[in-house]
Chains A and B, each alone.
Chain A
Amino acid sequence: MASRRQIAAMKQSLFDQDYLDEQFIQLEELQDDANPNFVEEIVTLYYRDSSRLVSNIEQALERNPLEFNRLDSLMHQFKGSSSSIGAKKVKAECTLFREYCRAGNAEGCKRSFQQLKREYATLRKKLEAYFQQARQAGPFEAARRSK
């Protein structure tokens, strides 16, 4: 089991590597006695809901020709929820994707989306690992301490 320091370091590295931004800190601040697992809950909710979006986007990207408006709209939603949990890199990829949409650049969209999926998956793994460690150490404490 990781020590609290290690858990804190884990979290810090997520910030340092731009996986997460200050929004994540807001989430942690919302975690308290009344909502002891808030952060994990919202992240879980995010991954569950956004997976639907991701597959919608994927399907839309397989159409020919691409419906940029629709893609843009889907990505807008995705970006909104990603930014709500502080998923920094994912959010940045969303922005890039939308720019490609606006420019009507199909190749760019597809490329960007692949990158986005990678970021999305990586973040998920990292967060899962983090939560696991934090849970073992005591979720509330971990959140507090790592601030």
Chain B
Amino acid sequence: MNTCVDKMTAETGMDDPGDQFPVGMRVLAVDDDPTCLFLLGALLRRCQYNVTTTNQAIAALELLRENRNKFDLVISDVHMPDMDGFKLLEHVGLEMDLPVIMLSAHGDPKLVMRGITHGACDYLLKPVRMEELKNIWQHVIRRRKFDSKEQNKPNNQDKQPLAGSGCSPGSAGTSNTDQKMTKKRKDQNDEDDEHEEDPSTQKKPRVVWTVELHRKFVAAVNQLGIDKAVPKKILDLMNVEKLTRENVASHLQKYRLYLKRISCVANQQASLVAALGTADQSYWRMGSMSGLSNLHTLTAPRQFQNTVFRPLSSSGVIGRLNTPSGLVVHGSPSSRNIQFGCAQNLNNSMNDPLKFQSTIVHGNQNGNLVLGITGYSERDQLQHHKHKSISSVQDMANASCSHTSLPSVRNNSFMVAARPQNTQGGGANENLSSIDSQPSEISRSLLDHGSCGANWSNGVQPTQILPSSYPPTGFPRQLGFLPSSNPSGSSSITLMYSQSHDATANANSQGGINSSGHMSSNVQFRGWEDRNQDAAYRSNVLCSSLNSLIHENSGVSGSASPSPTDPAFYRNLNFNCGNPIQTKHDGFAKLAEEIPLRQDQGYIIHQQMAQQSRISNNLGSLDDLVGSLMKQDKDKVKLLDGDLICNNYTVGTSM
């Protein structure tokens, strides 16, 4: 602490920020609470940063938009009245590509996760301490290096090094970038009216990427497909006056970086989750995760806000899950089952569960978020959609981050976040809206991890669910994907989380669900009973058990014959289990512990479960199923083979 004081006498270095860095680093602090803002400002000044404070997120965005190069770092509170901190985070990340640190009095792992998936560099707890603030400059440096590395990659012939992305003029980190920029710019700089040829200062007329503009951009990228999206074509599609190819190229690069960051974060998160829940990745990969994910998302009706789900229901992404029973499926703990139900409908969309997986992997984090989304009140419709999305999300989540589907995942998170908030701004929002109306597209997009762009807009729907729906539960317990903003969302995710036991349990449960469609059904049943967040926990447990089940019977999923949409299906499940399922959380907890599941998956499952619980009375039996499944392997197997696994499921998922 005193180090800062000692530095007080040093030169501020304002005239030469690069040399004196981090002294003089320009920070924008945003917090609606005056006390906290006052403290934060004082602490930052003590660290010798150049501090600007504002208590309004909107004002902060305007400040940033005015001049992107004016700030090096943004620190923002999560809970603000005029705009959610996560939304601000997205905006800043997309439009300005500045490192953003989130602040909150809440150490809720779910929130932390959300922050990370939204691209936050760090997440600090209030009251903020000096020691933590003294190190925040690392994020600026890191970003600069990261961006310059990205620029080295030959992504796109039109790609132009991001101008000033995360780099401040004069900083050492920018020099390489600038050089590259200069070179590339010269190469590509023909017809476009150019910015000044002065990369080092980056004094070009900067285009402000408004929400509207970004929306067009994203739409164009989606239309072209993320891999095929070249600035020239995007520019043509966007058809915006005075927008140059360079602008688009630079924005595209940022966009890609953003997606990549999200995927990396998701990856890390997944690892973390795995570590926590000791989930076995293989579980996830196993079966038709996609199916699961859909289910998961569906099951999380409680948690999600209605608004989030609404969009999903609009287009029957999943194709109606086959009717009401499909809905029931939602409730069923086994995401698998749900998937089956969904699978039927989803078949077309989920032809390639692997794809889902891959796409979902990225979206693991997002996926989870998506799951949460499914907690919309419009479960029935949503469920269909959700299932789809969930499974896809799940898959995505499950899959490695390396999949290009990330973008979709990303979208999801965006969308999710945007959705619940009913925000209009930003591309994220855009995505949501577009996604909502085209759930089917999303699922397709999810499947197609190649078309990241498409996923972005389309895929978002399903995934959207997740973020919002995640109930803010402790991370250890719940993989935390559930967005805290979803009141109802907690249901599904909470299912997973309901496992009030340690995170391991949750992780397990989650993992189980995701990986094993079968499993999830069991788990989900559990979730039904438990509407509240606890259910999520339970679902976690279930999920894990499901996972284990699935694990055991990876191939089983296909064998189920009864249609998921048939309520009898669930009953069958129940029968098969033979063992009364403990609807208690404890039961789940145990199961969860037994089954190391990825938390991510669990989340998804939870969601589905939550929804299901709401939706169907069969839940009770499902719970039983789950319980029995969890307890007994052979029962599980039976379940898996038998009624639990719907044909659809197998169809849709490659379990």
Residues of A at the B interface (CB closer than 8 Å) are 23, 26-27, 29-30, 32, 35, 38, 41-42, 45-46, 49-50, 69, 73, 76-77, 79-81, 83-86
* Other A-B pairs, 4, CB within 8 Å; known A80-B104, A84-B35: A30-B46, A32-B5, A41-B38, A85-B35
Contacts of A69 in B (CB 8 A): 487
Contacts of B36 in A (CB 8 A): 80-81, 84
Please state if A80 and B126 are interface contacts (CB–CB under 8 Å): yes
Q: B127 touches which one: A23, A38, A41 (CB < 8 A)? A: A23
Q: B39 touches which one: A32, A73, A79, A84 (CB < 8 A)? A: A84
Please state if A77 and B79 are interface contacts (CB–CB under 8 Å): yes
Contacts of B59 in A (CB 8 A): none
Contacts of B43 in A (CB 8 A): 30
Contacts of A46 in B (CB 8 A): 35
Please state if A76 and B106 are interface contacts (CB–CB under 8 Å): yes
Please state if B35 and A81 are interface contacts (CB–CB under 8 Å): yes
- Once A29-B130, A77-B79, A86-B127 are accepted as A-B contacts, the answer to whether A45 and B35 lie under 8 Å apart by CB is yes
Please state if A45 and B38 are interface contacts (CB–CB under 8 Å): yes
Classify chain B: how many residues form its interface, as a range: 20 to 34
Among B32, B34, B106, B127, the most chain A Cβ lie within 10 Å of the Cβ of B127
A sample of 12 inter-chain contacts (CB < 8 A) reads A26-B1, A26-B130, A27-B39, A45-B38, A49-B35, A50-B35, A77-B79, A80-B36, A80-B104, A81-B33, A81-B36, A84-B39
B42 within 8 A of A: yes
B186 within 8 A of A: no
Please state if B487 and A84 are interface contacts (CB–CB under 8 Å): no
B240 within 8 A of A: no
Please state if A42 and B39 are interface contacts (CB–CB under 8 Å): yes
B149 within 8 A of A: no
Q: Quick one: which of B64-96 are within 8 Å of A by CB?
A: 77, 79
Q: Which residue of chain B is the closest to A23 with respect to CB atoms?
A: B127
Q: A35 touches which one: B32, B42, B79, B106 (CB < 8 A)? A: B42
Question: How close is B432's CB to chain A, nearest CB, in angstroms?
Answer: 22
The docked-state distance in angstroms from the alpha carbon of A11 to that of B275 is: 44
The docked-state distance in angstroms from the alpha carbon of A38 to that of B5 is: 15
Please state if B127 and A30 are interface contacts (CB–CB under 8 Å): no
The docked-state distance in angstroms from the alpha carbon of A50 to that of B34 is: 9
The docked-state distance in angstroms from the alpha carbon of A12 to that of B190 is: 71
Q: Quick one: which of B28-61 are within 8 Å of A by CB?
A: 32-36, 38-39, 42-43, 46
Q: Which residue of chain A is the closest to B36 with respect to CB atoms?
A: A84
Question: How close is B82's CB to chain A, nearest CB, in angstroms?
Answer: 14
Question: How close is A54's CB to chain B, nearest CB, in angstroms?
Answer: 13
B7 within 8 A of A: no
